Amino acid sequence: MAGLLGGLLASHQKLSTGVAHSALLAFITGLGLVGIRYSLVDSDPANWESIDNAKITAKTLIIATILFLAYRFNKKPSLPKNAWLAMVLLSVTNIVIAVVW
Q: What is the dihedral of CA 15, 62, 94, 20, to 10 degrees?
A: -30
What does the longest C-alpha to C-alpha distance in the chain come to?
53
* The model scores a pTM over 0.75: yes
Q: Say what the pLDDT of residue 32 is.
A: 96
> What region does 84 belong to: left with phi over 0, alpha with psi -120 to 50, or beta?
alpha
Q: 86: closest CA among 17, 21, 23? A: 23
pLDDT, tens only, 82-91: 999 999 999 9
Instruction: Give the whole-angstrom CA distance, residue 99 versus residue 101.
Output: 6
Asked if pLDDT for residue 3 goes beyond 90, the answer is no
Q: Are 1 and 91 in contact (CB under 8 A)?
A: yes
Q: Say what the pLDDT of residue 11 is.
A: 84
